[in-house]
Chains A and B, each alone.
Chain A
């Protein structure tokens, strides 16, 4: 590249005048994109960011027990802490009692360790009878748990402004008394099972969708227009029906006295009093999710197959390849971008699927998103729900990244 600057005829550097000439167009483009950009920021970036933030944010409790946490920071966590910690605790609790806001710390401390609920309630009730000085003894007299180091360790663990404890909980780990990361007790390890089940269901749903969608897409791409349009409507029709309606109709079909079970009994595959359970378990989840996600596999496959010229298969055959060889060596490799796009789409949608497993999945067919919903609506542990959601998001991005490394995202074709 030459270092000499090229000038336009009015003496300005060429680059400057080019920028000037294009400024108007750029502004116009920005103006057109603006609404969508704002919409995305308000409805997507902001709430998602807030959610991610919530999963590690632990400042609420820090603000409510400021003196306690400052004092407890100096404690080594081995023997019982000294008088200053208890004094600070008294000060904080007295304030919370006066403002009647102590209820809020109970839930938070209870996540840390069970038993805090009764401990705090009893202590606050007796707080009026406390005398100045020697708070440590008075606390232990009110409730013996104040003399047990593990409760004070739990208190200390709740002290930092930021925590990743929720993420540990998401993979069945926790901090022990010493602040080391250990596994949850065996009977409380439920999230790992859920993660694995979610991955398994998403994987198999993707496989089933692929097996069903490939021939359909082939037909769609090769049939004459008047038949392929009809078939396309058949593929899209369920797509236009409400998700809830479709899932509920699967409930009608799959129930124990439903038509599919009737058919199985009629064919003699099962006794009438021993009808197989097709719903409220993982089978129901598989069947309904495969049907619902099928169009997401059909459409990318179809759009890729549509671009494959029929003369390629003919060329393969005329060059001596049997129809099978021509398919395997020519047609199939050319559909790989479509398979990749469809599988990625179906897998990512399946991994976060919620309504269908909630309705037809039962206990053994519920997925990680159902747990997230449970923590959002029932247990109200929003920060844990946020942590699970974040892990799901990271998982999806990881899959996307791996796919990009293996196949290359440029090879994806959606149409």
Chain B
């Protein structure tokens, strides 16, 4: 069976709460069946609003949302068959784990023996067998989270929505839960729409990531593409670490362009969002793509002075004054071949123009 490419479809959706400000602006987004899509963005970027519209708790001000080809604007939340995991778990505190999981099955009038089987399966999926009789308050944060995940899956929904479900957990637990959710998704193949503001989480778990800002999707692509090939400076700066240079295009030809920086130096860059000579641009370069004392030939080679050295365990970060940018970050792996890193030393730094993306100036 061919997978539906437009299983969930936002078609030109606007949303405003107060009639003055658009929280979501002309959103178009297609999600494939069985896909794990993450909506990533800073708070107030409209990602949670999108999720709430999909769940049915908010109505779009304009535009339509389709689920499996059907318009769902007029379907109330309880008939949409969408599972949801909430930020604070939203487990029913007066019910046991078993009763929490039985709730969606009972309202669907599923016979008890069949329901018990489903509950059993869901609980073993999150490895919480034997916890049926516990009250949510008696569980740790991670266990509550698993119950919430199990509850959202127990009635075999078409889509599961997760609204920053790991936000309240500590770092280690969050990481292990990320893998767990990813594995559950892989094993049952349900469509997951996940909302987070944590980029590591998004990069770890998703098939595709939609980066939200200012009520719009800035870029929708796979994690590696998002990191390696950001299409605008917001994405470049939001995802991962980024070094930026402001300048003006002085020459453009094919897959290379020359950018004249504010201090007068010219560097070679990859023209992603610039069209013509004279365009203002912000050039983005990932820290790990800049190399100290390059042995291979590189198209950009410049000297920089070490301003600050920060030890990070597995690597050392250097803040370097390079071409007028005092916040240029370099990452040096903590290998045995240690360089002589001292504040004030001058380093030879090189990078390729292909990694150095000339984006919009914003």
Contact = CB atoms under 8 A, between A and B. Distances in A.
Contact of B77 (A318, A330, A333): A318
A329 B84 contact: no
- Chain A interface helix/strand/loop/mixed: helix
Interface in A302-339: 309, 311-312, 314-323, 325-326, 329-330, 333-334
Question: Considering residues A317, A320, A321, A322, which has the most beta carbons from chain B within 10 angstroms of its beta carbon?
Answer: A320
B94 A333 contact: yes
Contacts of B91: 315
B108 interface: yes
B42 interface: no
B90 interface: yes
Contacts of A315: 84, 86, 90-92
A316 B94 CA distance: 13
A315 B55 CA distance: 10
Q: Give the size category of A's interface with B.
A: 10 to 19
Contact of B90 (A311, A321, A325, A333): A311
Given A314-B77, A329-B103, A319 B151 contact: yes
A196 B122 CA distance: 55
Contacts of A323: 76, 78
A320 B90 contact: no
B98 interface: no
A322 B151 CA distance: 17
Contacts, number: 68
B81 A320 contact: yes
A60 B267 CA distance: 112
Interface string B83-111: 11011101111100000000110011000
B207 to A, nearest CB: 23
A321 B90 CA distance: 14
Contacts of A312: 90, 92
Interface in A156-185: none
Contacts of A325: 107
B351 interface: no
A406 B3 CA distance: 56
A316 B84 contact: no
Contacts of A330: 92
Contact of B104 (A309, A311, A319, A334): A319
A249 to B, nearest CB: 40
A314 B90 contact: yes
B95 to A, nearest CB: 8
Contacts of B90: 309, 311-312, 314-315
B328 interface: no
Contacts of A334: 93-94
A360 to B, nearest CB: 41
A316 B103 contact: yes
Contacts of B88: 309, 311
A306 to B, nearest CB: 15
B270 to A, nearest CB: 45
A320 B93 contact: no
B259 interface: no
B249 interface: no
Interface string A90-120: 0000000000000000000000000000000
B107 A321 contact: yes
B94 A320 contact: no
Nearest to A313: B90
Nearest to B92: A330
B108 A320 contact: yes
A316 B103 CA distance: 8
Question: Considering residues A314, A319, A321, A329, which has the most beta carbons from chain B within 10 angstroms of its beta carbon?
Answer: A319
Given A311-B88, A314-B77, A314-B84, A319 B94 contact: no
A135 B161 CA distance: 102
B155 interface: yes
Nearest to A336: B94
B65 to A, nearest CB: 15
Given A312-B92, A325-B107, A333-B94, A317 B86 contact: no
Given A314-B57, A334-B94, A319 B86 contact: no
B155 A320 contact: yes
B135 to A, nearest CB: 13
A245 B234 CA distance: 65
Interface string B151-164: 11001000001000
Given A312-B92, A330-B92, A334-B94, A318 B87 contact: no
B320 interface: no
A319 B77 CA distance: 9
B82 interface: yes
Contact of A317 (B77, B93, B151): B77
A244 B104 CA distance: 53
A398 to B, nearest CB: 28
A284 to B, nearest CB: 40
B94 A321 contact: no
Nearest to A319: B104
A329 to B, nearest CB: 7
A205 B108 CA distance: 39
A312 B108 CA distance: 18
Nearest to A318: B84
Interface string B21-55: 00000000000000000000000000000000001
B93 A322 contact: no
B82 A318 contact: yes
Contacts of B108: 320
B280 to A, nearest CB: 43
A89 B161 CA distance: 95
A311 B91 CA distance: 9
B323 to A, nearest CB: 50
Contacts of B83: 318-319
Contacts of B55: 314, 318
A407 to B, nearest CB: 13
Q: Which 7 A-B pairs have the closest CB atoms?
A: A319-B104, A315-B90, A318-B84, A311-B90, A317-B77, A311-B86, A320-B107
Interface of B: 55-57, 76-84, 86-88, 90-94, 103-104, 107-108, 151-152, 155, 161
26 contacts: A311-B86, A311-B88, A314-B77, A314-B84, A314-B86, A315-B86, A315-B90, A317-B57, A318-B77, A318-B78, A318-B161, A319-B83, A319-B84, A319-B103, A319-B107, A320-B79, A320-B155, A321-B104, A321-B107, A322-B78, A322-B107, A323-B78, A326-B78, A333-B94, A334-B93, A334-B94
